[in-house]
Amino acid sequence: MSRPSKPRQYLEYAPVAMAASLLEYLPRPCARLAGQGIAEGFYRLHRRLARVGLRNLELAYPDQSPAWREQALHGLYRHLGRQMAEFCRFPRYTAANLDAICVTRGLEHYLEARERGRGVLILTAHLGGWEISSFAHSLRGFPLRFIVRPLDNQPLDRMVNRTRGLHGNQPIDKRDFARGLLQAMAANQTVGILLDQNSYPPQGVFVPFFGHLACTAAGPARIALRTGAAVVPGFTVWEAAERRYVLYFEPALPLLRTGDDEADVRANTAQYTAVIEGWVRRYPDQWLWIHRRWKARPPGEASLYANNQAKG
């Protein structure tokens, strides 16, 4: 897909930049309320994505009522609005005020993995405050690299990555995924991996997710098997009781290795996906349901979105 023309790019970028500046300089409670209001508008007006979300919730939670699913989806939108406000306020966050926004628990698991010297893959998902996760980790002195697909709007892409990289985080272009990961692991660097979106064979393999086969990127498992890199689950979620985000690190996952390369790739990818499912089940109103996670199907299987043509 070609990029929009430069004049159009700047016409699209200008209002986004103005909104970001407004959210940055508003007091944090007001910025969060404003972000929730913007997200609420999308929830009410852009129902195509909402239909995708409700279909995904139906697939994942067939025994729950339609009212429960609508409530969970509505909660997601409110959460996305809060995270948008936090992202715009990143330039105002410092080591001194960070604990009021996000604390880390289980840091020892990450440090132990890094001490192995073979690189660290942080296994995470579009759950909770995934943007806050990498930013807070870098602000505490642990910059990392992350896989991104460049945005079609170049000025917006530069602005977003500039904000993400304020404390040393660096992107790896998704188009150079394998080489970038291998170089990072060889240098004992840390890379954040969002492993919860639809993929397609041969880059992806089908593994269970909420009781349905979901095509999942196999690259992280291949890299771990090739380099011995540690795979550490790390999820940042909003803890309502604490009124802040918490970045949880878990112990590095065991590397499943039998000598059958393709079976090992599938087994490790299934293991990673099961970890993500467990976290989504704990925080169902904080996962990005509006993406068609089960879009790709094994040969011969019908679409799970046959009656839901919205893009997501």
pLDDT in tens, 77-98: 999 999 999 999 999 999 999 9
Task: Specify the 3-state DSSP secondary structure of 217.
Answer: strand
Inter-residue contact 233 to 124 (CB < 8 Å): yes
Region class of 58: left (phi > 0), else alpha (psi between -120 and 50), else beta: alpha
**Contact present, 291 and 130 (Cβ < 8 Å):** no
Token pair of 291 as six digits: 């993406």
pLDDT tens per residue, range 22-79: 889 899 999 999 999 999 998 998 889 999 999 999 999 999 999 999 999 999 999 9
> What's the burial of 219, exposed, middle or buried (CB within 10 Å: 0-12/13-18/19+)?
buried
| 190: CB partners within 8 A, 6+ apart | 110, 114, 119, 120, 121, 122, 142, 143, 144, 145, 184
- In this prediction the pTM is 0.93
Domain assignments of the chain as residue spans, ordered by start: 6-286
**Tens digit of pLDDT for each residue in 164-208?**
999 999 988 877 888 999 999 999 999 999 999 999 999 999 999
Q: Residue with structure tokens 């790019």?
A: 9
Helix axes 28-45, 66-88, angle to 10 degrees: 140
Residue closest to 206 by CA, chosen among 257, 269, 260, 254: 269
CA 10 from chain centre, in angstroms, equals: 27
- pLDDT at residue number 235: 98
The CA distance from 132 to 134, in Å, is 6
- Cα 245 from Cα 237, distance rounded (Å): 5
